[in-house]
Structure 1
Amino acid sequence: MPPWAEHAIFWHVYPLGFGAGRPRPLRHLAGWLDYAVELGCSAIMLGPIFASETHGYDTVDHFSIDPRLGDERDFDHLVEQARDRGLRIVLDGVFNHVARSFPAGERWLRRRPGSGDYETFEGHHHLVVLDHAEPAVREHVTAVMDHWLGRGAAGWRLDAAYAVPAGFWAQVLPGVRERHPDAWFSGEVIHGDYADYVERSGLDSVTQYELWKAIWSSLNDRNLFELAWALDRHNRMLETFTPQTFAGNHDVTRLATRLDDPRHLGHALAVLFTVGGVPSVYYGDEQAFQGLKEEREGGDDAIRPAFPDTPAGLAPHGWPVYRTHQRLIGARRRHKGAASARTTVEHLSGTAAVLRSDAGMTLLLNVGDEPHRFPGIGEVPPHGWEIIEEK
């Protein structure tokens, strides 16, 4: 990974939702960069910003800013304002599929075997899959990456990377890296062998959905054995690459909604910021936003909301969670090597655990209804957590 990514903490924003109802949402987002810096973030991960038909993942022009968000001047302004604050911007590259109205030759699009129709992404009729064996597609993706990296982007989140042959990225990325050696590339991968995909594709990172699921599931079930099992797998991933970690994103139910017990929100965040990886905070999670994802048309609307004009418009009850994020991010930043650190489970029961990061942080978790005494360390109250930092 480029050195900056080893220390990155992302604020992940879905721009079409964040700025909904405003004439120039990218300008609106630029006004929130100080908020992201004060949170402790060092980079912004943007959802789709290119011209599309509806939700941004049905692209019609990779070289144009979606007019609902603004124009290229607004993008340049956002990059400039971010750079002035030491923030890098990573873009969402939707290169597995495009909208049906995407102006490409027929050879660019993959056809279903035995059918004259185009192959679609996970059954969505309006999302047509690109033919990644076609040289023109490879040349197009390379050109898009180069264009926006040259315009100030710092890297790419590659949407639905799991649906793209790993060899496609292996062909595209070396040349892009040669021209942009400081760029970071992370792929969306949900299931399967993450390390193998990273090795074959040449990506820097992939999304760590296993850990995401284990965090909320183990807290809901009060079964920290599940978390310990996931952390063992996570440690093995860290031997070969640095996963992109998260407790929420634009595709899943909000953390504050997913957790059965609101007292365990801090536990989930403490795990995220003490284990190895490149962590991201999905906008609104730092304010304990609620939102349920539903499998229907418009089912993502609740998890992709608009933000107010300024932080003063946020509800008072969310600020304690914001300050918890600040505290945890501050602890992480005080410990060199946190991104690549392994986590050892030194004490474990169904409702209590000691997680020691070899970067110098020890996390005590108690999700039980009674105080738990950790031998040689101390007592944590019911549904409490504590971080002990080595000097």
Structure 2
Amino acid sequence: MWAYNETFYQIYPIGFCGAPVHNDGVTVPRIKKIGEWSEYLETLGIGSIILNPIFESDNHGYDTRDFKKIDCRLGTNDDFKEVCQTLHEHHVKIMLDGVFNHVGRGFWAFQDVQEKKWDSPYKDWFHISFDGNSCYNDGFWYEGWEGHFELVKLNLQNPAVVDYLLDCVRFWIEEFDIDGLRLDVAYSLDHNFMRRLRHFCEELKPGFALIGEVLFGDYNIIVNDEMLHSCTNYECYKGIYSSFNSMNMFEIAHSLNRQYGPEQWCIYRGKHLMNFVDNHDVTRIASILTNKNHLPLTYGILFGMPGIPCIYYGSEWGEEGVKAPDNDYALRPCFDAPKPNELTELIEKLIVIRRESDALCNGGYHNVVLTNHQLVFERRSDSERVLVAINAGDCDFTAGNGELNGDYTELITGETGNLSGSLNMPAYSIQYLKMN
């Protein structure tokens, strides 16, 4: 699976392209801006972008009206086709947001039910009761997603709904040549639907990647050979920023070992979960860290740990953004152009290092040195051994351990040296030591 060796870059198009928050019905080709960033993304080393919703919707994109039409605020289908061609020419793959759990109240089939009630051929596409009423006074009750009644839950156990959604996926592949899907709220999706989707996509476009949004629970339930290739690793997301803010590296080390460690009971060995330090739903990492010296170190862990790294647009240069109690607008800004800096340069190096390292892409995980402020872990495959060393403290530290032995090349700086039972870790440092 190509996705396991690549770094992803997540964009929330409605915000990124400066579109109105509410659908104003005016067609403007704002989505072309994504194509204008393709050279920057190629230089950064991005293997694929993840685009949050781009299809016609009522407001934020997750309230879909039409799965086969690009949102007019972003442009036309032809505009997006042009963007996809440009991205592919710059060796950047495209993953779209598959919002299959629910639609907006403006969705064409739901509007048919509003008009025709019992007589609508689409009444069984949703979870509807004509014995009740909705908060919108529709004359019937329907299930909304987690109590959000602007999001109408689809009935994925209805074969007609599944056939329709798969037909939309076929359309996206044939029309835009996309390479994968992020499945919104994958934890809510019908498992048989996901099995059918996996088989359908693999037959249509071998190597098509499916990555699910999962917040909690056992990821093995949906990340397996029958369903999804990967899912979001929220456990380690929390562990990364929390370890730095509490100056307790035991938290992230515990999560990583629990998931990927050498012991028989470790739960996700051999899997490639999607890792991130922020995204479109959470406060940006630059705003959540209490010590700004830790910002580069979070990426040191992100690219060194098992799984697939994903960067949220703007965070690669340390953009700030705080989630508000009632909206996410501050998390989804419009930038005139990329603003690369020293952090961006570091991330660019880490992307190359990881892509070219079998140990970092596919190797096992093992904690070597662990203190409150320092963490050294080993990534080892059959062909390579890499030590990742993070010092979150404000002073130098010398780590001692019998496993710290042998000649090495430091992959970030290119320096070479020899370890004989100890490793000097400068304050606020990241080291990737390839052991010879």
> Which TM-score band (shorter chain)?
over 0.9
1:55 and 2:55 equivalent?
A: no
* Equivalent of 1:380 in 385, 401, 425: 425
Distance 1:200 1:131 in 2: 24
Q: Which residue of 2 aligns with 1:161?
A: 186
How big is each residue's C-alpha offset from its partner over 1:38-87, in whole Å with a ceiling of 9 and x where there is no partner?
11111111111100010001000000000111111111111111111111
> Deviation per CA, 1:190-216, whole angstroms, max 9, x where unpaired?
100001222386111111111111011
Q: Which runs of 5+ in 1 are unaligned?
A: none
Where does structure 2 lack aligned partners over 5 or more consecutive residues? 21-27, 110-121, 133-139, 261-265, 401-420
Shift of 1:175: 2.3
TM-score normalised by the chain length of structure 2? 0.83
* 1:10–1:280 contact (8 Å) kept in structure 2: yes
> Partner of 1:377: helix, strand, or coil?
strand
- Paired position in structure 2 for 1:260: 290
Structure number with larger C-alpha Rg: 2
SS in 1 for 2:309: strand
Paired residue for 2:311? 281
Secondary structure of 1:131's aligned partner: coil
Q: Which residue is equivalent to 2:75?
A: 70
The CA distance in 1 between the partners of 2:362 and 2:129, in whole Å, is: 42
1:14 maps to what in 2?
A: 12
Alpha-carbon offset, residue 241 of structure 1: 2.5
Greater shift, 184-193 or 140-149, is seen at 140-149
Moved over 4 A (4+): 112-116
User: Which residue identity lines up with residue 106 of structure 1 in the other structure?
Assistant: K
1:85 maps to 90
Greater shift, 12-21 or 236-245, is seen at 236-245
Q: Please list, as runs of the form range in 1=range in 2, the aligned pairs for 1:221-240 lying within 5 A after superposition.
A: 221-235=246-260, 236-240=266-270
1:98 is matched with 103
SS at match of 2:46: coil
Q: CA deviation at 1:227?
A: 0.8
> Which deviations, in whole Å up to 9, do the C-alpha atoms of 1:203-254 show, x marking residues without a partner?
1111111111101111111111111111013314543531111111111110
Q: Does 1:358 align with 2:393?
A: no
Further displaced range: 210-219 or 359-368: 359-368
- How many percent identity over aligned positions? 33
Letter in 1 for 2:141: D
1:259 Cα deviation from its structure 2 partner: 0.9
**Could you say if the C-alpha distance between residues 330 and 113 of structure 1 is closer, same or farther in structure 2, counting changes exceeding 3 Å?**
farther
1:167–1:201 contact (8 Å) kept in structure 2: no
**Residue 385 (structure 1) shift:** 2.6
Shift of residue 338, structure 1, vs aligned partner: 2.6
Q: Is the 8 A contact 2:182 2:210 kept in 1?
A: yes
2:145 maps to 121
Give the 3-state SS of the residue equivalent to 2:94 in structure 1: strand
Identify the residue that residue 215 of structure 1 maps to in structure 2: 240
Give the secondary-structure state (helix, strand or coil) at the position aligned to 1:325: helix
CA contact (8 A) 1:195 1:240 kept: no
What secondary structure sits across from 1:61 in the alignment?
A: strand
AA paired with 1:20?
Answer: G
1:327-338 matches, cutoff 5 A: 327-338=349-360
* Contact 2:293/2:428 (8 A) holds in 1: yes
**1: CA distance between counterparts of 2:202 and 2:432?**
38
Judged with a 3 Å threshold, the aligned counterparts in structure 2 of structure 1 residues 222 and 147 are, in CA distance, closer, same or farther, namely same
Q: CA deviation at 1:341?
A: 2.1
Q: Whole-Å Cα distance in 2 between the matches of residues 190 and 111 of structure 1?
A: 27
Secondary structure in structure 2 of the residue aligned to 1:199? coil
Output the CA distance in 1 between the equivalents of 2:344 and 2:108. Answer: 43
CA distance in 2, matches of 1:109, 1:174: 24
In the alignment, structure 1 residue 139 sits paired with structure 2 residue 145: no
Contact 1:155 1:183 survives alignment (8 Å): yes
What's the CA shift for 1:112?
A: 7.2
Letter in 2 for 1:110: H
How big is the shift at 1:21? 4.8
The Cα of 1:114 is off from its aligned counterpart by 8.1
* Cα pair 2:6 2:355 within 8 Å, conserved: no
Higher relative contact order (CA 8 A, sep 6+): 1
Count residues with an aligned counterpart: 381
AA aligned to 1:277 is G
Say which structure is richer in helix: 1
Q: Does 1:180 align with 2:205?
A: yes
Give yes or no for the alignment of 1:292 onto 2:334.
no
Distance 2:295 2:153 in 1: 38
Within-5 A mapping of 1:292-331: 292-296=322-326, 299-308=327-336, 310-311=337-338, 314=339, 319-331=341-353
In structure 1, the partner of 2:362 is 340
Give the superposition deviation at 1:137: 1.1
